[in-house]
Amino acid sequence: MKVSPLCSRDGGRELYLTARVDAQKYRLTLPAAMLDDTCGDTSSEATRKAWVKDNMPDVQATLTARISDASVRAPYTRILVEEIS
């Protein structure tokens, strides 16, 4: 799995990245509400990115689980996984 650097939206409250698995590309969006709950409502973009980087194995496992129809554990159930071209 090849993963892009983290990008942000909504003033750094929401984060996303892309990942390539074989020939397919996916976008994983970590919604602001999820990051508010895990990092705190007033957390900075840097704090949010640090949390994602610290939990990257679980973020990547979320994609693998979604592709294979396996279960995902909280809070990673809130990550939006989209197939993109």
Per-residue pLDDT of the chain (85 residues; tens, 9 = 90+): 999 999 999 999 999 999 999 999 999 999 999 999 999 999 999 999 999 999 999 999 999 999 999 999 999 999 999 999 8
Give the three-class secondary structure for 25: strand
**Element of type H or E holding 54:** helix 45-54
Give yes or no for a contact between 42 and 10, defined as CB atoms under 8 angstroms apart: no
Q: Quick one: CA torsion of 16, 26, 67, 69, rounded to 10 degrees?
A: 50
Longest dimension (CA), the chain: 38
What is the model's pLDDT at position 42?
Answer: 97
For the chain, the structural domain boundaries read 2-84
What pLDDT is stored for residue 21 in this prediction?
A: 95
In the prediction, which pLDDT does 85 show? 83
pTM of the model: 0.94
- CA 24 – CA 19 distance, rounded (Å): 8
Supply 61's token pair. Answer: 């496992």
